[in-house]
């Protein structure tokens, strides 16, 4: 498999935010390779398969076990479903790990090992991503269960309107997550540049979540360590 990085950190967002987790980031994203990379992508270093290193199944599981012997693992990308993750999921489950997979929702759910995954985290791309048109496979809506999550990353009012329309009348079993896009703030008093949550946008997004009865999801790893690899 083509792997971008394997590391141990805290899960940064979603239902499992704050839980110690071993991350397996696979290399290659189908949307990026089609020239449709998300405008807010924070893992550009994993967009193309040639950016990763070739690793065997044994090599991956040995590295995971060297970092943590039990608990949660998270397979992400890039887009992990570009590669056959089935054997990796089976191996991790056999070693006693819980498995979460993050996918961009543009590839149909796997049939043979779908139920082995403890938590699916599936994106629905909003207009500001530049990847929304025709990318989401609606078969996910029939497959996702209560333990799974459906995520919308929002950066504009148009995005919120898109989510509102998507959710209107829908009876969804998974947890619905709304994640606001981050920005950059120049702190003139201190003369420093730092990542921040645009407070006005965060408040607007929070109000939307209250109105729609859905969950706000912040990327806490960025608040702690900034936007960099291996966290």
pTM of this structure: 0.92
pLDDT of amino acid 158 = 96
Where does the pLDDT of residue 196 fall: very low under 50, low under 70, confident under 90, or very high at 90 and above? low
Q: What is the pLDDT of residues 58-69, one digit of tens each?
A: 999 999 999 999
pLDDT of amino acid 191 = 46
97 CB burial (10 A radius; 0-12, 13-18, 19+): buried
Q: How far apart are CA 51 and CA 150, in angstroms?
A: 28
Cβ atoms of 151 and 123 closer than 8 Å: yes
Q: How many CB atoms lie within 10 A of CB 8?
A: 16
pLDDT of amino acid 214 = 97
Q: How many CB atoms lie within 10 A of CB 103?
A: 23
pLDDT of amino acid 197 = 58
Domain ranges of the chain: 2-225
Instruction: State the fold for domain 2-225.
Output: TIM Barrel (3.20.20)
Q: How far apart are CA 164 and CA 132, in angstroms?
A: 15
Cβ atoms of 153 and 126 closer than 8 Å: yes
With tokens 């929304």, the residue in question is 132
Tell which wins on pLDDT, 133 or 45. Answer: 45
Res. 192: pLDDT tops 80: no
Res. 201: pLDDT tops 70: yes
Question: CA dist 194 to 40, 65, 204, 224, Å?
Answer: 17, 35, 22, 12
Q: How far apart are CA 231 and CA 218, in angstroms?
A: 15
């Amino acid at each position: 498999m083509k792997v971008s990085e394997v590391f141990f950190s805290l899960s940064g967002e979603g239902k499992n935010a704050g839980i110690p987790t071993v991350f397996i980031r696979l290399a290659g994203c189908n949307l990026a390779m089609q020239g449709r990379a998300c405008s807010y992508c924070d893992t550009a270093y994993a967009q193309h398969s040639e950016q990763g290193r070739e690793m065997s199944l044994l090599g991956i599981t040995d590295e995971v076990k060297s970092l943590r012997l039990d608990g949660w693992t998270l397979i992400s990308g890039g887009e992990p479903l570009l590669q056959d993750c089935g054997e990796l999921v089976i191996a991790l489950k056999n070693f006693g790990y819980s498995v979460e997979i993050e996918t961009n929702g543009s590839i149909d759910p796997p049939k043979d090992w779908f139920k082995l995954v403890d938590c699916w985290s599936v994106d629905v791309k909003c207009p500001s991503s530049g990847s929304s048109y025709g990318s989401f496979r609606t078969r996910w809506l029939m497959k996702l269960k209560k333990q799974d999550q459906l995520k919308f990353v929002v950066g504009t009012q148009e995005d919120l309107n898109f989510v509102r329309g998507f959710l209107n009348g829908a009876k969804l079993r998974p947890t619905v997550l709304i994640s606001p896009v981050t920005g950059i703030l120049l702190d003139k008093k201190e003369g420093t540049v730092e990542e921040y949550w645009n407070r006005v946008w965060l408040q607007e997004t929070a109000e939307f979540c209250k109105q729609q009865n859905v969950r706000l999801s912040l990327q806490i790893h960025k608040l702690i360590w900034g936007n960099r690899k291996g966290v």
